[in-house]
Amino acid sequence: MEKNTRSSSSTGEKPKQYALTLGRIMVTALLVSAVVLVALPGSMRAQIELQTSYRTATFGAGTSPSAAKVGDLDGDGLNDIAVVNLQGSLQLFFNNGAGSFNRVSLNGLWPSSSSTLGVDIGDLNRDGRNDIAVAFSTQTGSVSVLLNQGNRVFGAPTNYNLCGASRGVAIADLDRDGDNDLADISICSRAGILLNNGQGGFVFSGAYGSGNASKSIAIADFNSDGFKDIVYVNKAVDVNGNITVILNNGNGTFGSPMWFYAGDLPDDVTAGDFDGEGTTDVAIANSYYSQIIVLLNDRAGSFTHGYIEITNVDTPTSIASADFNGDGRLDLAVASQGTNRLAVLINQGDYNFVGPTFGTGQTPVDVAAGDLDGDGKPDLVAVNQGGGSITVLFSAGGTTQPPPPPPPAQISLTLSTQTTRTARLVNLSWSGATSSSVDLYRNGSRITTVSNTGSYTDRLGRRTTGTFKYKVCAAGGQTCSNEATISF
């Protein structure tokens, strides 16, 4: 590891540094069993056998695909894939359940002179169906919302102008009212906030933060107050720092920006607890220096606790996180545009990330994670811009150590329903939660975070039909209730 001598915060405080030496990785073919020699802290050495294997399949995705997201778009319980193309089209890959997809191309949705650069999936009008948000760059900058009509049909885009050409978009409940909101990042280098009006429409509430040539955005709770905060990267040489963090004031507005250094010209960011301390860290891909920087949270929403520098990945342009080997720790997947490969870096729990690489199509510019074959393991999607395709890597292996058993449910959940003239209501009642706030899940997707009052009402559309599975979890934790089911 090369030690970073730049300050990681706007206050000039130099972070603690963790020594990290990455060992040699021996990889054979596409089905990989990698044996890695790692130099551990304290000059200890260990030989770690990783079994991380994938079978791959490549699918055409139109000209110049630029970004992808995984989510259930047709309500069949199987995750699908949404891909946007630079020329203003949208590709929907509906999962057939057998490792194959039906592709639907939606062309001409946006001007061909614009660039569609970001996509996210989430329920935006509380009808129980996942909708699509797309970031596309025009002179004024826009985010498009496509509402799910059911039966694999989406409505025409509704466009919302923001402060500049949009580069990315993310969906989350930013004001904790139970409705998912939108945040975009654009060339004006601020995060534009669109708050949900409760009917799937959005109101621009302001632009927050500052940076330089900003492009990638992620949303997570960085200071453990139950409200979603924002991080974005600035692809420039900036005296302040190359990632911007803005903390939620608790009402969908955001405070003054904080800047942290993560190498000049960073490309992408993902958020998660990478050191197992219970707080949310950030990992940044930097193709200019061919490195990954993991900034560790100091438990107050600042990233001065230390950092990890990973330097064995060539030209990383995109990064995603998930537990890829089932050991309970968050790992990293990194697309390397310069080598046409995807690295799966397994978290060893001692500030080491090691793992094999896999071939993709030409010029992978984005990577997304999600279970695409229903085996409970996260799979990967690489977006091959130069090849006009996506490569899907289906997980075929796990860890040499069995994952720990899930903790016993300590939260009890019951459901009741009622129907009004305008909506179907699902009343959730729970007991046993000890955290100050809880995450509520519907059909496997988090719908909101609320105070731990013991009750919540989920409002669905009047004509909503289907089966809905709910659970309640301690906010940001793994302690969850039983899964309760209701049908209409």
- Averaged pLDDT for residues 304-332: 92
- Give the Cα separation of 484 and 480 in Å (integer): 12
Distances in Å between the Cα of 202 and the Cα atoms of 117, 345, 446 are 20, 38, 20
In this prediction the pTM is 0.74
Q: Is the pLDDT of residue 203 over 70?
A: yes
Label residue 304 by pLDDT band (50, 70, 90): confident
Give the range among 11-20, 91-100, 342-351, 414-423 with minimum mean pLDDT.
11-20
Residue 193 in contact with residue 246, Cβ under 8 Å?
no
Rounded Cα distance, 280 and 295, in Å:
10
Q: What CATH superfamily classification does 52-394 receive?
A: YVTN repeat-like/Quinoprotein amine dehydrogenase (2.130.10.10)
SS3 43: helix
| Residues 396-441: tens digit of each pLDDT | 854 434 344 444 557 999 999 988 888 889 999 999 988 889 999 9
**Quick one: tokens of 284?**
């940044």
Phi/psi of residue 367, each to 5°?
Answer: -140, 140
Can you give the residue ranges of every domain in the chain? 52-394, 412-487
Superfamily in which the 412-487 domain is placed by CATH: Immunoglobulins (2.60.40.10)
Return the structure tokens found at 177.
Answer: 């009212």
Return the exposure string of 448-481: e unless at least 16 CB atoms fall within 10 Å of the residue's CB, then b: bbbebeeebebbbeeebeeebebbbbbbbeebbb
pLDDT in tens, 242-297: 899 999 999 999 999 999 988 888 999 999 999 999 999 999 999 988 999 999 99
Q: Residue 266 carries which DSSP code?
A: -
Exposed/middle/buried for residue 8 (C-beta within 10 Å: 0-12, 13-18, 19+): buried
Q: What is the pLDDT confidence band of residue 200, given thresholds at 50, 70 and 90? A: confident
CA atoms within 13 A on the CB side of 95: 23
The predicted-structure confidence for 88-136, as pLDDT tens digits, reads as follows 899 999 999 878 999 999 998 887 766 778 999 999 999 999 999 999 8
Query: Which one is predicted more confidently, 150 or 262?
Result: 150
Grouping H, G, I as helix, E, B as strand and the rest as coil, residue 406 is coil
Residue 317 clears pLDDT 80, i.e. is over it = yes
Tell me whether the CATH fold assigned to 52-394 matches the one assigned to 412-487: no
pLDDT attached to residue 446: 85
The confidence band for 139, taking pLDDT boundaries of 50, 70 and 90, is low
355-412 pLDDT, tens digit each: 999 999 999 999 999 999 999 999 999 999 999 999 999 998 544 343 444 445 579 9
